[in-house]
Amino acid sequence: MKLLPNKLIFATCFFLSVGLGGLKAQIVKWDSTYRPGKYAELVQKFKAEPKTKKEFIFLGNSITAGTDWATLLNLPQAKNRGISGDITFGILERLQEVIDRKPAKLFILIGINDISRNIPDSVILRNYKTMIRRVESQSKRTHIYFNTLLPVNASFEKFKNHYGKDNHILWLNDEIRKFASKKVTVVDLYPVFVTDDKKLKPELTKDGLHLLPEGYKVWADYLNANDYLK
């Protein structure tokens, strides 16, 4: 499948304004071409890594990048493919490198930066489905583990573009849960990390978005408890 062309994409949403203006249209810009500063460098680094058998690849953004998965899980075959700031379009652009490795297992967690950049939920969902289709068609023995998005915690007041968008997280997570199939296992992380008032547990995060070592331990324990690493 061909990637989307590199261009700035515009979406229009309507809202009822406060005042005499009535219903007004607001242009909301979102850019499919955004790539983090170290994106190209890291992609080249990943491509240079020798291929090994039965790899477990963890694919995503800074939340995935924030730990050494091989050490955390005591699995030498675990490979980190997290790039800080990445979005679903970036994942699609670099997905072939992952597919070509024919990993035994592929763990995907991506989308919170898309939400922060106002990429529509429907587009994020479409990109998720494209990832799954490409892996299933080109690496038939790879089992996909698709993670639900983690909550955020606005009380830390650091990542303001990520806050106030909990409904987007909840909607996408509901859609991700529908991916469960013979080839796709849904790793439902959200309930493990959320408080009763729908915030990322403060004791597991350093800034309301990224995880502390304690958070990664909870993640690892959840994977082991559900036999996702066997």
pLDDT tens, position by position, 168-227:
999 999 999 999 999 999 999 999 999 999 999 999 999 999 999 999 999 999 999 999
59: number of Cβ within 10 Å: 27
How many residues does this entry show for the chain? 230
d(CA 113, CA 122): 15
The domain spans of the chain are: 36-225
Q: How far apart are CA 133 and CA 129, in angstroms?
A: 6
Fold of 36-225: Rossmann fold (3.40.50)
pLDDT tens digit sequence for 67-118: 999 999 999 999 999 999 999 999 999 999 999 999 999 999 999 999 999 9
What pLDDT, on a 0 to 100 scale, did the predictor assign at position 157?
86
Q: For 91, what's the count of Cα atoms within 13 Å in the CB-facing half-sphere? A: 33
pTM of the model: 0.89
